[in-house]
Amino acid sequence: MNMVQKRHLIWIIMCVVAFSFAVMGPKAAASQLKTIQNSMGMTFVLVPAGTFLMGSPEDEPFRNKDEVLHKVTLTKPFYIQTTEVTEAQWNALMGRKWFSRRRSGNLPVVKISWYDCMEFLEKLNRLGEGRYRLPTEAEWEYACRAGSQAAYTWGKTIDCTQAMFANNSSDSRDCLDYATKRDLPMDGPAPVKSYPPNDWGIFDMHGNVWEWCLDWYGAYPSDSVTDPKGTPSGSQKVRRGGSWFKGASLCRSANRNFGHPASRYATLGFRVVREAE
Both 24 and 126 in one domain: the answer is no
Both 9 and 42 in one domain: the answer is no
Question: Can you give the C-alpha Rg of the chain in angstroms?
Answer: 20
Q: What is the pLDDT of residue 277?
A: 76
Domain at 52, CATH number: 3.90.1580.10
Both 25 and 84 in one domain: the answer is no
Q: How does strand 210-216 pair with strand 268-269? A: parallel
Q: What is the pLDDT of residue 105?
A: 84
Both 9 and 49 in one domain: the answer is no
Is residue 262 within 8 Å of residue 118, measured between CB atoms? no
Is residue 135 within 8 Å of residue 271, measured between CB atoms? yes
Global pTM? 0.86
Q: What is the pLDDT of residue 135?
A: 98
Is residue 79 within 8 Å of residue 46, measured between CB atoms? yes
Both 180 and 267 in one domain: the answer is yes
Both 126 and 200 in one domain: the answer is yes
Long-range Cβ contacts of 219-223 (<8 Å, 24+ apart): 219/66, 219/68, 220/54, 220/55, 220/66, 220/67, 220/68, 220/70, 221/68, 221/70, 222/68, 222/70, 223/70
228-276 tens-digit pLDDT: 999 999 999 999 999 999 999 999 999 999 999 999 999 999 999 999 9
DSSP state of 190: P
* Helix/strand/coil for 223: coil
Q: What is the pLDDT of residue 103?
A: 58
Q: How does strand 78-81 pair with strand 132-133? A: unpaired
Q: Supply φ then ψ for residue 44, to 5 degrees.
A: -125, 145
Q: What is the pLDDT of residue 33?
A: 52
Both 7 and 124 in one domain: the answer is no
Query: In what order do the strands lie in the sheet containing 70-74?
Result: 50-54, 70-74, 225-226
Residues 25, 19: Cα–Cα separation, whole Å? 9
DSSP H or E segment with residue 23: helix 3-30
Q: How does strand 70-74 pair with strand 225-226? A: parallel
Both 103 and 197 in one domain: the answer is yes
Both 11 and 86 in one domain: the answer is no
Question: 10-residue block means of pLDDT along the chain (277 residues)?
Answer: 44 38 38 81 98 98 98 98 96 73 78 97 97 98 98 97 97 94 96 97 98 98 96 97 97 98 98 94
Q: Which domain holds residue 8?
A: 1-30
Is residue 215 within 8 Å of residue 250, measured between CB atoms? no
Both 141 and 235 in one domain: the answer is yes
Q: What is the pLDDT of residue 171?
A: 87
Q: Specify the number of domains making up the chain.
A: 2
Is residue 120 within 8 Å of residue 93, measured between CB atoms? yes
Both 5 and 102 in one domain: the answer is no
Both 136 and 156 in one domain: the answer is yes
DSSP, residue by residue, 53-122 = EES--TTSTT--TT---EEEEE-S-EEEESSPPBHHHHHHHH-HHHHTT---SSSBP-S--HHHHHHHHH
- Please choose, from the candidates 33, 262, 165, 81, the residue with its C-alpha nearest in 3D space to the C-alpha of residue 89: 81
